[in-house]
Each structure stands twice: as C-alpha cells, then as structure tokens.
C-alpha cells in the first residue's frame, strides 16, 4: 500500500506551499495514477497514512481535535467578526481554530490548517465581500465540504443569493474569472471552488446585520446543538477518498 496523507490537501493543491522541504516526498498513488506531492507529518507509533485497497485514506490518531474551525477572509473580518466569534466560543469552553491564534511559530502552516479542518466537528464559514478573491479561502472551503462535517455560514454584508453569481459582472463572478484567467490554477480546480462557494448559499446560516451580541449567541447556540447532536450520533471522519480532484 502507498503512503499518503489525506490531511495535507492544501499542499496537494499547491506543493510549493509546503514549508518543510525535508518532509516533502512524491509518491505515485496507483488509485489516482497521478504523482502527488505530500507533506508527511511525524508518525505516531509507526502508523503511516495509507491508501487501502478500497481506495480510502486512513490517518493515525495524532491529529488534534477542534470543536470549531473558522474559515474567513482575513482582511475583511479577522479583527472583527472572526475574532469575536473565536473569543465567544472559546469562553464557552470550546476548542476553536483561528489561524492567528492557533498556529504556533515554526509550524507548517498548510499542514496545520489541513489538520484543523479535517478534525473540526463544526465549520463556521464567514462570507464577506472579498472572500472569493482568496484562493486560500476557497481551497479551505473545498476541503471543508469534503470532511462532511456541519457548516454554519455567516454572511457579512452580502446576501446568500449573491454567491450563486447570477450577475456575471458581480464581485464574486469577477473574482472567479480572475482565478481562471491567472493561469495559476487548473480549470477543474477553479470550478470545484465555484461549486463549493455556490453550495454555501443553500445552507441555512446567519446574515450579520450589525447586532454583534445577537449574532454571537445564535452561533454559539447552533454550535452547541450540532456538537451535542454529533456526540449522540458520532460520525467517522478518519477517511478521505483519494481521487484526482484533490490535485492541482
């Protein structure tokens, strides 16, 4: 069986993002038939990442467990809505991932983010005006959907319908067109981001209207309910299908 790490999918999208060259190795996954650049984390008890015969990737038990992962556009909401949500949930005893507070100096950033996404019980996706400009945000969003964990959208200054990009001259449509024309990403990858972005608009969430206190409490209530539901009906989140859609 071929060694594979299903968690460092951000590095699969852009191998150059891996900040630890000594841990970079290339393997041929016979199930994918495409070379995959992988970031291999330290193995615990000699338990590697493996692709099984039924085409599923299994990881070992070292992955940190987060209750909530905050996906957001930093320049729009990191110091405002994202930070408020982070501190409110943390004060309620939850383990929350927000990049600026959760990534330690010296850490491999793409690997840490990939691990956090994969291990989180709930994902809060904060959509703002400049969200779709960031390929990083869109890559995270795509991985979030692949985990199968619940998503709570928070729409800041935008309406959910805007994500469907019916207006071809809208800010989001222009952002995706720019990604497509940049030549930095494969067309199928940009299309995958577009589908994930559009899908968020169909998930019931919250529209931020300016009342921060009300928003924070609603999110906290929803998170608590979803975590409680997950504990009563635990999901297996230790497998990720290996296919070519992860690779750019």
Q: pLDDT for 106-146, tens place per residue?
A: 999 999 999 999 999 999 999 999 999 999 999 999 999 99
* Percent of the chain with pLDDT strictly greater than 70: 67
Q: What is the pLDDT of residue 171?
A: 95
Q: Which of 37-41, 74-78, 136-140, 142-146 has the lowest mean pLDDT?
A: 37-41
Q: Write out pLDDT tens, residues 168-177.
A: 889 999 999 9
pLDDT at 19 over 70: no
The C-alpha angle with vertex 112 and arms to 108 and 115, in degrees rounded to 5, equals: 140
pLDDT at 97 over 70: yes
CA distances from 118 to 23, 37, 178, 208, 226 (A): 20, 18, 28, 26, 17
Chain centroid, CA 200 distance in Å: 13
Q: What is the pLDDT of residue 233?
A: 67
63: left (phi over 0), alpha (psi -120 to 50) or beta: beta
Would the CA dihedral through 85, 88, 92, 98 be positive or negative?
A: positive
Q: How confident is the model at residue 182 (pLDDT cuts 50, 70, 90)?
A: very high
Query: For all residues of the chain together, what is the average pLDDT?
Result: 77
Catalytic one of 140, 162, 192, 240: 140
Which has the higher per-residue pLDDT, 49 or 142? 142
pLDDT at 83 over 60: yes
Cα–Cα distance between 41 and 11 in angstroms, integer? 12
pLDDT at 35 over 80: no
Q: What is the pLDDT of residue 40?
A: 36
CA distances from 202 to 23, 138, 196, 219 (A): 39, 17, 10, 17
Highest mean pLDDT among 13-22, 48-57, 94-103: 94-103
Q: What is the pLDDT of residue 51?
A: 40
* Percent of the chain with pLDDT strictly greater than 90: 62
Cα–Cα distance between 59 and 144 in angstroms, integer? 17
If one counts every other C-beta atom within 10 angstroms of the C-beta of residue 50, the result is: 17
Instruction: Establish whether 140 is a catalytic residue.
Output: yes
Q: Write out pLDDT tens, residues 193-221.
A: 999 999 999 999 999 988 889 999 999 99
Q: What is the pLDDT of residue 236?
A: 53
Question: At which residue do the structure tokens 């099984």 appear?
Answer: 52
């Amino acid at each position: 069986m071929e060694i594979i790490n299903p968690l460092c999918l951000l590095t699969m999208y852009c191998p150059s993002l891996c900040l630890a060259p000594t841990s970079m190795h290339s393997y041929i996954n016979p199930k994918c038939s495409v070379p995959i650049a992988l970031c291999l984390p330290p193995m615990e008890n000699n338990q590697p990442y493996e692709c099984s015969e039924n085409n599923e990737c299994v990881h070992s038990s070292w992955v940190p467990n987060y209750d909530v992962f905050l996906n957001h556009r930093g320049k729009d909401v990191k110091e405002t809505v994202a930070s408020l949500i982070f501190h409110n949930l943390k004060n309620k005893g939850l383990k929350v991932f927000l990049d600026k507070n959760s990534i330690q100096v010296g850490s491999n950033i793409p690997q840490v983010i990939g691990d956090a996404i994969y291990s989180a019980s709930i994902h809060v996706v904060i959509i703002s005006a400049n969200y779709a400009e960031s390929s990083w945000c869109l890559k995270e969003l795509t991985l979030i959907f692949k985990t199968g964990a619940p998503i709570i959208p928070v729409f800041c200054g935008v309406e959910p319908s805007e994500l469907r990009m019916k207006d071809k001259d809208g800010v989001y449509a222009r952002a995706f067109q720019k990604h497509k024309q940049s030549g930095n990403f494969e067309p199928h990858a940009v299309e995958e981001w577009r589908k994930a972005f559009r899908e968020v608009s169909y998930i019931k969430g919250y529209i931020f209207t300016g009342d921060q206190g009300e928003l924070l409490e609603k999110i906290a209530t929803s998170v608590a309910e979803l975590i409680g539901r997950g504990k009563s009906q635990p999901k297996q989140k230790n497998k990720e299908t290996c296919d070519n859609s992860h690779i750019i």
